[in-house]
Amino acid sequence: MGTASLSILGPSKPTSAAAEDEDPSNPSTALLSNVESSTPPQNPTTTILFVTLIIITCLSLLASGVFAFLFFSSSSSSKSSQVLHNNTESTARPLTKLEHPVVLLISTDGFRFGYQFKTPTPNIGRLIANGTEAETGLIPVFPTLTFPNHYSIATGLYPASHGIVNNHFIEPSTGDVFYMKRHEPKWWLGEPLWETVVNHGLKAATYFWPGSEVHKGLWDCPVNYCKVFNDSVSFEERVDSVLKFFDLPSSEIPDFMTLYFEDPDTQGHKVGADDPRITEAVAHIDKMIGRLIEGLEKRGVFEDVTILLLGDHGMVGTCDGKLIFLDDLAPWINIPKDWVQSYTPLLSIWPPAGVSPSDVVAKMTEGLNSGKVENGMNLKVFLKEDLPQRLHYVGSDRISPIIGLIEEGFKVKQKRSKGKECGGAHGYDNAFFSMRSIFIGHGPQFARGRKVPSFENIQIYNLVTSILKIQGASNNGTVSFPNSILLPPP
């Protein structure tokens, strides 16, 4: 984001010479002149004018006094109101309708931080105004892709720990391939929230959350409480299905629920981050949040339910002018297509046995830095153990030996083609601001109108377990994090 220079006061308007000279024809100047120069005190006109000036002066002083009184009274009232507000937010509010805490975790895929300012979003705005917001967005884990991030949110683990290291990867010990419809437990490590919840004898319900279809521990994706992803199901139907849980007796309402929307990510990939179609998608998401709020209010439970509204990652525009072609490295090294597990925005290369990964990195780096490869300086290749430690992307055999970090907005392809396209992508370094999403917490344990610093989405797991008052599984989040964002118990 650029830094705007704010200027409240413009340059002073020059005063014309005519305005500075006294105008003999000006009535005010004539009157003052008469008062000063007239000596006969008995002149009735002069007396009337003198009295009039005195009256005007008195009225001005009286008006000033009234203004000062109102100003300081208003200031004092505002301070009193602020003190009252702070007092009412000092502790969490007790539940009034529900018998137990209920957390509804909502993901709007690809909701880049800042989208909420593109168009009026009164319903999201209502949650922000009456809840707690990450002021500059939620930080995703690397790689900033859908499945790794959704499962990090659910487990509190970095991808290297929970095993979903990409949307597509190979298990090196078996050669088996993971893709997004693989639901075998062997791929999905760690303990997701829905499993944690049922392990404690509570109820969970999931609606299209990546990984929730997987049978793990006591969680077996129960019928009517676990929906297998189907993008033909309308957003309205998804919201209404979740609302039906609140028609159950209070003791039977699930303690933890998830709700997933694949927008605005779908549009973002097609048109980038700044197209009007993104604005339409954001407006539609806001409408769905409004539908949810209205449904909860009709049931009298809106203030009792904890709503966590977030996204998994952001989005950035890409165009064919920002391309890097692996075939352009041929003078230094040949990178065959079958070495590449993913091209962009995360370049993942797995050389065959007998080919030294370090030699590959050295030769690729030489070519990229030569100045002879188009856009070469916008790709940095690493042995995975040499990646920046902040990425936490090394401790898994599923991560390929060679990882390429691509500059924001650039893409890697195998070879040149005549096709021209512009769109959007994510998956880049999570240090890029464009990869951030949103976080809003609304409910009994969140202060109203509070802003908190940005944080990584691995903290969500401990936040949910703290609200539900259950012991979570070991994870990469900070155990004390909930204390920094939640109000203390009443």
Same domain, 256 and 347: no
Same domain, 438 and 409: no
Q: CB atoms < 10 A from the CB of 334, how many? A: 11
Residues 288 and 373: their CA atoms lie apart, in Å, by 47
Sign of the alpha-carbon dihedral angle for 121, 122, 126, 129: positive
Supply the pLDDT for residue 56: 52
Same domain, 329 and 241: no
Supply the pLDDT for residue 16: 33
Question: Which CATH number is 190's domain given?
Answer: 3.40.720.10
Question: How would residue 60 be classed by pLDDT, with cut points 50, 70 and 90?
Answer: low
- Is 257 part of a structural domain of the chain? yes
The mean per-residue pLDDT over the stretch 5-25 comes to 33
Domain containing residue 341: 320-421
The last residue of one of the domains, among 403, 421, 439, is: 421
Q: Is the pLDDT of residue 235 over 70?
A: yes
Question: How would residue 418 be classed by pLDDT, with cut points 50, 70 and 90?
Answer: confident
Question: How would residue 25 be classed by pLDDT, with cut points 50, 70 and 90?
Answer: very low
Listing DSSP states for 415-483 in one string gives S--S---EEEE--S-TTSGGG-B-EEEESTTS-TTEEE---BGGGHHHHHHHHHT-PPPP-SS-TTHHH
Same domain, 130 and 247: yes
- Is 272 part of a structural domain of the chain? yes
- The single-letter code of the amino acid at 378 is N
Question: Which CATH number is 365's domain given?
Answer: 3.30.1360.180
Supply the pLDDT for residue 59: 52
The mean per-residue pLDDT over the stretch 373-397 comes to 97
- Is 5 part of a structural domain of the chain? no
Q: Is the pLDDT of residue 51 over 50?
A: no
- Is 446 part of a structural domain of the chain? yes
Same domain, 211 and 258: yes
Q: What percent of the chain has pLDDT over 70?
A: 82
Indicate the average pLDDT of the chain. 86
Supply the pLDDT for residue 91: 95
What pTM value is reported for the model? Answer: 0.82
Question: How would residue 1 be classed by pLDDT, with cut points 50, 70 and 90?
Answer: very low
Same domain, 311 and 369: no
Same domain, 347 and 455: no
The last residue of one of the domains, among 375, 393, 421, is: 421
Question: How would residue 351 be classed by pLDDT, with cut points 50, 70 and 90?
Answer: very high
The token duo for 287 is 């409408």
Same domain, 304 and 337: no
Same domain, 170 and 109: yes
The last residue of one of the domains, among 388, 421, 454, is: 421
- Is 116 part of a structural domain of the chain? yes
Same domain, 416 and 436: no
Same domain, 122 and 162: yes
- Is 68 part of a structural domain of the chain? no
- Is 275 part of a structural domain of the chain? yes
Domain tally, the chain: 2
Q: Is 146 a catalytic residue?
A: yes
Q: Is the pLDDT of residue 38 over 90?
A: no
Instruction: Give me the catalytic one of 108, 132, 144, 146.
Output: 146
Same domain, 394 and 460: no
- Is 19 part of a structural domain of the chain? no
Question: How would residue 485 be classed by pLDDT, with cut points 50, 70 and 90?
Answer: very high
